[in-house]
Structures are given as C-alpha cells and as structure tokens.
Structure 1
Amino acid sequence: MSRYPDLIGPKPPIKKLPFFTAMRAMKDNPIATLPLAAYQRPFWEAKSIFGAQLLVSEPAGIKRVLVDNAANYAKAPLDARILGTAFGDGLLASEGDKWRAHRRVMSPAFDPRAVASYAPVVTRATEARLEDWDAMENGAEIDIAREMTTLMLGIISRTMFSTDSECLQGRLDETLRKCIAELSFGFQHLAPVIGPLLMKRKLARVRANFEAVDAVMQGLIRSRDKRTGQPPRDLLDRLIAATDADTGFRMTDEEVRDEVVIVFLAGHETSALAATYAWYLLSLHAEAEATLHAELDAVLGGRTPTYDDLEKLVYTRMVVDEALRLYPPAPLLSSRIAREDDEICGVRVAKGMEIVISPWVTQRHRTLWDDPDRFDPWRFSRERSQARPRYAYLPFGAGPRVCIGAQFAIAEVMLLLGAMAQRYRLKLTPGQDIVLDLRITQRPRDGIRMRLERRG
C-alpha cells in the first residue's frame, strides 16, 4: 500500500475497456478510457470503428509533431469545427497565415513588461478576496474551486476591460459556462446518419449562447476604436491597437472579438484550476505546505507580494509547476491529422492518421517521471529539471502554438498563493467524492470543499 495520498482524477484501467463502457466513460472524461499501457509505452495505438489514433508520449516524438514537422499535422476537422463554433476563429481554432498574423500582433500584450503591468490588478483583487475570508469564522468551509474561479474572473475582467468590466464580466462568464456545458459528446454524436444531425443541433445551441454577449462586446470594441492616440488602459485597448510593424496588419473588430473570448476563457479558467489544485495538493502534504510557508515568511515577511518578488519565490514556483504537472489545464491537446506520410521516432505514420498528445499522460508517464502520481515540488529544482527531456512537461502545450498567456497564468497563481498562504492554510473537508469532468479543461464536477484556518 502506498504511503502517499491517493490523488483525485481518472485512474487508468489495467486493460482496455469494453466498447460501450468506454463510450459511457468518454462522455464525462475521455482520459478515463486510456489503459495503463498508455502510461508505460512511448506510443500507444487505439483502434475502434471510428478509426485509429496514435497517442504520442515520447518527448522526441512530441517535438516532431508540435515543432519540427508541425506543418504536417493540422488540427482534426471536427476539433477545429467545435472550437471555431464555440470560440470563433481566433488563436485556439485558426491555422496558417491567419494564426501567424494574430499571434505576431498579440504577442506584445503578453510579454514580460505587459505581464508586470497586470500584476497590481492581481494583488488588489486578491487582497479584496482576503478581506472576505477575514470576515468569515475560523474554520469556515468554502468551495475552493468556486473561490478561485470567482477571483480569477474578476482579475481577467479588470485586466481586459478595466472600468468597463462590470458590463461584460457576468455575461461572458454565464455564456462560456453554458457553452462548455454543451461540449459533452457521446457515441450518438459520432454515429453514422444521426450523428451529423445531432452535432449540427448541438453546435447551433453553442453558437446561439453568444448572441447576447456579442452585441455588448461589439459595442464596447467600437467605442474603444474612437480612443486612437491614447495610451492603452487594458488588454482590450492593446488588442484593438495592435499593429504589425512590418506588414501594417491590424485585426478587425470581429477578429478582436474572437480573441477576447478565447483570452477571457483561458485567462481565468486555467489559472483558477491551477490555483485550485495547488491548494488541494498542499492540503494533503504538510511538509510541502510548511516549506512554502517558510519561504513566504522569509521573502515577504507578511507583505503583499509584487511582480518583482516572483524570482525570489523559488519553492512557490516549484509548487505551481508540480500542480500543473499533475493537473495540466488542457489534459488533451487538439487531435492532429497527418497531411502526408511521416515517421515519428521510427514509427511510421500514414497520411490521414490521427495523432493525439496528452499532457496528462505524458506528465504522469512511468518512463519519464519517478513516482509520477506523487506530489513532489522538488522535482522542479534546477538540478532535476536539467536532467529531464524538454517535452516531458507541456502543461501549456509546446512549439509555435504554446499558450500565449502561460507566463501571465503562472504569475497570477504565484501572486495569489504568496498573498493568501501567508495568512491561511486550507484543509480538505473529509468524506467528499471529488469527480473530475473534462470539457476542454478538467474541473471538479461539484467543487472541492475546504476549511479556512488562519495562520498564527
């Protein structure tokens, strides 16, 4: 019996699941269908009536697909259709020249100087949330997933829309939640004859969810267009004004809208989940929690952290990295389809074959990590990290399409942990059944209940 806590999340079955059992599991969390062999082999091929899929976990193979020969591996048409319907034709769904043009003009809005400028918004929102916690009784129970989502929602709203955040925050949150709830697909959506009709109806409902919020957003974008020549107040101003110095390219209002939706979703959902799972993991590991507290006390001495403090919070960063390893924001990357025949680390790939890369599997792979299911922040020390293959760790993807806001997300979580863990430790409420559902991101279905305990 393991002396380490048994962590929440889908457990790999020893053998491949029977077809209909797998279909039922697929609806809630496709990762639950992956057998133990997928975590032990560098390549694992799944065959079904829908065709063959090759799961690539070998770091050199991942590099081949996402970096060295990325042009040969396009997003699967169904994935692109679903993402495009849900979130528009922005960075998440677009390909080719359009993706490159958008990525190029958007990058300055997420460079280190820009991230540093967003940090005060993070700390002000965190301090306000701490005031709410201070008003509660010691030992009060909270849903940490809801707490972190609410906090990150306020942060991304103010970062993106500043003084206009109130008119969009609630509407965007509600719209995206309805949209994500619809992104659950079963066997019937892939079945011949009836499948295409059911898929069309589902995607129509997803698209209809955005009609009301689109009108408000387009009005806001048009009003911002009139502020030409003034310094940017927020991320929306930066996206509207973004211009490629070499080509003169600027995004249209509709293109800005698509990118805003994606940044809003990714900008609060991924950070909220990273923080949620960091709190969960710390609550189960007293030694790691004590080490974190000691570093925060020594570096900050009770004051609110700033962006300049982050480089000194070495162990805090390791905690965040390890939480992202065990619970990556996007456990499954979009499937890729080989445009031409290829070879990945000696494995032949035929034109049209579907390639799958799963950060969840790669980051828990038995050949890449020691005790992969154990929480151990020290595995991200400088010495141990140097010995690890580069593409064994990809919580935000890799290659040209790596998440544009990855550094902002890490800074957010470090800042809030630095502020909150100085004053509170969180203890997991016993006796709860925590189930993780996968809808692009992987969320606890009914939250995670924890008790607030004031430190000292």
Structure 2
Amino acid sequence: MTSVLESGLKPSWAWLGVDTYRIFHLVAVFCLTSALLKAIQLYHRRQELLKAFSRFPGPPTHWLYGHVHEFLQEGEVLNKVEIWSQKYPYAFPLWFGSFSAYLNITHPDYAKILFARGGKGLLVLHGPKWYQHRKLLTPGFHFDVLKPYVPLIADSTKVMLDKWEQLIAQEKSVELFEHVSLMTLDSIMKCAFSYHSNCQTDSHRKNSYIQAVFDLSYLIHHRLRIFPYHNDLIYWLSPHGFKFRKACQLAHSHTDKVIRERKESLKDEREHEKVQRKRHLDFLDILLHAKDENGEELSDEDLRAEVDTFMFEGHDTTASGISWILYCMALHPEHQQRCREEIKEILEDRTTIQWDDLGKMTYSTMCIKESLRLYPPVPGVARQLSKPITFHDGRTLPEGSLAAVSIHLIHRNASIWKDPLVFDPWRFSPENISDRHSHAFLPFAAGLRNCIGQQFAMAELKVALALTLLRFELAPDLAKPPIRIPQLVLRSKNGIHLYLKKVHGG
C-alpha cells in the first residue's frame, strides 16, 4: 500500500505548517537535556553534602535511601537514634535519601553554639521580620497578662475531668491524648483569643481543627521518610500532598474565622474603646493593635501566620506535655501521691487554683520538669545556617547546612545525666540545678529563638496536673504501653492509656 507521503498527498496535519517529527525530536532533546542538568545539579548537591559532613562520622547509609529505610517502623525511630548517639557522641549526619541530610546534634556543648548563632528556622519566620514580630508579641506574655488565664485554664480542665468521670464508669482505661488536645485547644481559644469554641462538649463530630493539626504533624514527618516526596511536584500530585493541602485549608479556615469574628467585633466603636480600656489584653488584641516603629500594622497574612503558629504551639505541644506528665505520674505512684499532698496543702479547702498557687508547687514542678526531660513535647529543633559555624572541637559546617538539636537525645545523654532513663524529680532541686550544663535541659529550646510562650505552657501544665490529681488516682494500662513517635511533637503511636480512679472526696 502506498503511504500518504509516497503518494504526494499532504497529511491532515500538514496545513498547520509544522513538522511533527521535528517537534518530537526537539521535545526529546529538551527532556534529555533537562534530565542531564538535573542529574548534574543533584550530583553537585551530593558532593556538597558529603564535603559538609565529612568531618562528622555517622551510621552507614544506603546509596539511595540514606537512613530512611532504618525508620520504616515508626516506633523504632527514637530507639535507633538513641543507639547511634552512643556510638557517635556530640553529632552525626542523618540522610533522607541521597540529596538531603542534616547534622543531628546530641550534646549540649554543640547545642549551645548553634542556639547562640541562630540561623533560619524551618517552620517559622526568620531575619528582620522575625525580630520585628517577636518585639511586638512579647507584651502578650507578660505576667500581668498571664494571671487572668489561670481560672480560664482551670475551667477547661474541669470540663475534661467531668468527661473522664463519665468514662471511668465503663471500667476501661482512658486514652488521654485526644481529650487533652481538645482541652488545650479550648484553653488557648479562651485565653489568647477570648473565643469560646465549646470544642470539648461539641461531641456530635470530631473536631476538624484538631484533626487537621494531627494530620499536618504526621504528613510533614511522613514526607521526610518517603524519598520521592522530596520532589515538590511529585508530592503535590500525590494523595498525601492532596491531604496536606486539605489539612492546611482546614487549619487556615479555623484561623480566619477567629480573626474575622474579632475584627467584626472591633468595628463597633464602643467595643473598640472597651478593648482599649481593658487592663489585660489577650494575644489577639495585641496582634490587632500592634504597630511597628513606622506605625504599620500587621498584614492579614502576618496575622494569620502568627495566630497559626501560636494556636499550634500553644495547644499541640502543651497537650503532649500534659499527657506525658500524667503518664509519668501513673508509672510512679509514690511521686503522684507526694504531688497530690503538696497540692492539697496549698489549696487547703479550696477546689480551684489561682496564679499565686503555681509558684508554691515546688515538688510538682520538679516532677513536671523531669517528665519534660524524658518526654520533651518538641523532640528536636532545626536550623538552616545563615553563616558558617565552628564548634568547640574545631569541626565546622558551611553556610546553608541544616543542623538539628535533638532535644530528646540531649535529655537522655548518659554523659550529662546520671541514670538518664530513671524518673528522678530531684534532678531539678535547687542544689542540683547549679551543677548542670546550661544547655542540658531544653524543653523550650534556648537562645533568641526560645519558646516565647513557655510561661503560659508551664502554667497550663501545673493547673492540669493539680486539678487532675485532686480528682483521680492514675495507673498505667500495662496492656497498652505507649509507643513514642517523634513528629512535630512527641506523640504515642497507639495513644496514652491510663486507668483513672476517683479520689475519695475529690
């Protein structure tokens, strides 16, 4: 059969005036060239990382997966890095694939130098904009602002404890984390935003914001562990990328609703005057009225970023801290009872707790800090170096390198802490604190970028612990021990299950 071209007839696409075969050839050349350039780029990236970490020995890596294949089972991540930290003191590189790596710092000497130098935070603002916002937000965490929050936190805690009273009638252990997350969200909405969400009693559906925050925490960690997801395009086209975008939208819509309703209330001039006259402004008041040295207010984008950050860090990290301290109390009934007796002595016949009571909770505070040492809510803090850094032993990292302070590993470092796996609140007695390395205990990080809300967090931890111990005796469910997993906060893969028994007269 004579072909179309051989017969001299023009094919149907010839009227376009293009040579299809030439286009295919150009496309193929373009794709091959792009692939070659990408391969060269990745090769140079690999060489830069190898050079940057050449002076830091670490565990063997897979040529493609790096150390990711070591972390396929989530519950083994912390156990694995704890073993490596004993073999490679101070710091060692961790590779996520062949082209992404960071220096994992496990000693307070290294942590002190990194926190002093700072660098770019990977999840928050950095540079002049961060300093400007930090200055504007600092008044929101003054003691005079925090004092009225204590009764609000107590009210939210009592709602949670009332729910637990109903659950213990079933004579089953209670999974704490979800309840505590709702309580801390309820607290921060009341304290920082004067917003009554009723999220603890709105039982007809699961709280979408809590679920969105949980999903985001998991998905960010999950992306690091899946090598192809390091590519933005592949990730955004994947089911997990779609779920990530959806979770972001849910979290943002929640934030937007809080900001929008407050702005609408401020449109009323009388309400505006009322806010201005208030002795204690909440966090959102301060954001909405904050102005820089040029008289400029925060943009809507900046408002959302700060509210998102504070809502996440103010509720999810605190929920982790409270859950783990209650777990520690359950494991150690002798310390639990001593804390209970201290709290009863402070409150006497009162059933509520006040700001002035918190400073008197000496032994309870020691127990809280020991729990934060063993189970830090934020297991690690990462920085991208804006300048080269030299550590005390002469080893250096170049500008642009990633370094992460493993708070979890520093808190369990046997060269810093005696019997580090033993729960011993006396580590935090006044006589022992003076002998400790300045960067051996880092639950709220350190340096300029330390946690601005740590006083708020400690107040919430103390209130929740005190009111819980006044009402319940705690015991572990030995059939369901928690499995630690480090995401953005320290969680348990299977939850934290405790048996609760009503305290006589509580």
TM over 0.5: yes
Counterpart check, 1:159 vs 2:197: no
Verify: 1:228 aligned to 2:272, yes or no. Answer: yes
Moved more, 317-326 or 143-152: 143-152
Contact 1:37 1:44 in 2 (8 A): no
**Partner Cα separation in structure 2 for residue 404 and residue 140 of structure 1:** 39
- Given that residues 16 and 35 in structure 1 are in contact (C-alpha distance below 8 angstroms), is that contact kept between their aligned partners in structure 2? no
Match of 2:109 in 1: 60
Which residue of 180, 192, 198 corresponds with 1:148? 180
Query: Which residue of the partner structure matches residue 353 of structure 1?
Result: 401
Deviation at 1:189, TM superposition (A): 4.5
Residue aligned with 1:357, SS: strand
Quote how far apart the aligned CAs of 1:300 are.
1.7
Corresponding letter in the other structure for 1:228: H
Q: Is the 8 A contact 1:125 1:155 kept in 2?
A: yes
The worse-fitting range, judged by mean Cα deviation, of 354-363 and 341-350 is 341-350
Equivalent residue for 1:206?
Answer: 244
C-alpha contact 1:25 1:32 (8 A) present in aligned 2? no
Maintained 8 Å contact 2:168/2:501: no
Residue 372 of structure 1, aligned match among 396, 420, 424: 420
1:188–1:402 distance in 2 versus 1, CA, 3 Å: closer
Is 1:445 matched with 2:470? no
Aligned partner of 1:330 in structure 2 is: 378
Deviations 1:79-118 (A, max 9, x none): x3xx3xxxxxxxxx21101101111111111121111121
Secondary structure at the aligned position of 1:173 is classed as helix
Map 1:408-423 to 2 at 5 A: 408-423=456-471
Within 1, Cα distance between the matches of 2:299 and 2:258? 13
Deviations 1:197-230 (A, max 9, x none): 2233455642343434465345325314425333
Q: Percent identity at matched positions?
A: 25
On the 8 A contact 2:325/2:371 being kept in 1, the answer is yes
Shift of 1:188: 7.4
The change in CA–CA distance for 1:420 and 1:205 in structure 2 (over 3 A counts) is closer
Q: Is 1:26 aligned to 2:71, yes or no?
A: yes
Conserved? CA contact 1:39–1:361, under 8 Å: no
Q: Which runs of 5+ in 1 are unaligned?
A: 1-14, 84-92
Deviation at 1:362, TM superposition (A): 0.6
Of the structure 1 ranges 347-356 and 121-130, higher mean CA displacement relative to structure 2 is found in 347-356
* 3-state SS of paired residue (1:356): strand
Instruction: Work out the CA distance in 1 between the residues paired with 2:313 and 2:224.
Output: 28
Rounded Cα–Cα distance in structure 2 between residues aligned with 1:26 and 1:440 = 16
Alignment of 1:31-430 (within 5 A): 31-39=78-86, 42-46=89-93, 48=95, 49-50=98-99, 53-67=102-116, 69-70=117-118, 73-75=119-121, 80=122, 83=123, 93-137=124-168, 139-163=171-195, 165=197, 170-185=207-222, 189-191=226-228, 195-201=231-237, 202-203=240-241, 205-211=243-249, 212-213=253-254, 216-217=257-258, 219-226=260-267, 227-231=271-275, 234-244=282-292, 246-303=293-350, 304-334=352-382, 336-351=383-398, 352-430=400-478
Give 1:164 deviation, angstroms.
Answer: 5.1
The Cα of 1:247 is off from its aligned counterpart by 4.6
Preserved CA contact (<8 Å) 1:188 1:198: no
SS in 1 for 2:436: coil
Shift in Å, 1:450 = 1.3
Distance in structure 2 (CA, Å) of the matches to 1:154 and 1:167: 6
Deviations along 1:227-264, whole A, 9 cap, x unmatched?
533326643222212234x4534312221111111111
What SS is found at the alignment partner of 1:396? coil
Taking structure 1 as reference, are residues 370 and 198 closer, same or farther at Cα in structure 2, changes over 3 Å only?
same
Q: Quick one: structure 1 residues 266 and 188, their matched pair in 2 at CA, closer, same or farther if it must change by over 3 Å?
A: closer
Helix, strand or coil: the match of 2:221? coil
In 2, the alpha carbon distance for the partners of 1:47 and 1:407 equals 33
Deviations 1:259-288 (Å, cap 9, x if unpaired)? 111111111111111111111111111221
Q: 1:182 to 1:100 in 2, by over 3 A?
A: same
**Distance in 1, Cα, partners of 2:284 & 2:154:** 20
Deviation of 1:309 after TM superposition, in Å, equals 0.4
Query: Which whole-Å deviations, capped at 9, do the CAs of 1:10-58 have from their partners, x for residues lacking one?
Result: xxxxx94774694245363653441524146542222653365433333
The alpha-carbon distance between structure 1 residues 200 and 131, as it changes in their structure 2 partners (threshold 3 A), is closer
In structure 1, the residue corresponding to 2:378 is in which secondary structure?
coil
AA aligned to 1:50 is F
| Residue identity in the other structure for 1:174 | Q
Aligned residues: 421
Residue 191 of structure 1, CA deviation:
4.5
Q: Distance in 2 between matches of 1:444 and 1:432?
A: 11
How big is the alpha-carbon RMSD for the aligned residues of Structure 1 and Structure 2?
Answer: 2.9
How far off is 1:121 after superposition? 0.4
- Would the alpha carbon gap of residues 215 and 406 (structure 1) be closer, same or farther in structure 2, given more than 3 Å must change? closer
Q: Secondary structure at the match of 1:399?
A: coil
Aligned AA (2:232) = P
Q: What's the CA shift for 1:142?
A: 1.3
TM-score normalised according to structure 2 size: 0.76
Q: Is the 2:106–2:406 Cα contact (8 Å) retained in structure 1? A: yes
CA contact (8 A) 1:44 1:54 kept: yes
Kept after mapping to 1: 8 A contact 2:174/2:498: yes
Query: In the superposition, relative to structure 1, how do residues 149 and 163 fare at CA in structure 2: closer, same or farther (>3 Å)?
Result: closer
Q: 1:40–1:365: 8 Å Cα contact kept in structure 2? A: no
Secondary structure of residue in 2 paired with 1:183: helix
Structure 2 spans left out of the alignment, 5+ residues: 1-57
Alpha-carbon distance change, 249 to 328 in structure 1, aligned in 2, over 3 angstroms? farther
C-alpha change, 1:350 and 1:262, in structure 2 (3 Å) is closer
- Contact residue 16 and residue 33 of structure 1 kept, 8 A: no
Offset at residue 354 of structure 1 (A): 2.8
Query: How far does the alpha carbon of each residue in 1:415-453 deviate from its partner, in whole angstroms, 9 at most, with x for none?
Result: 111112022111111211422232211211221221111
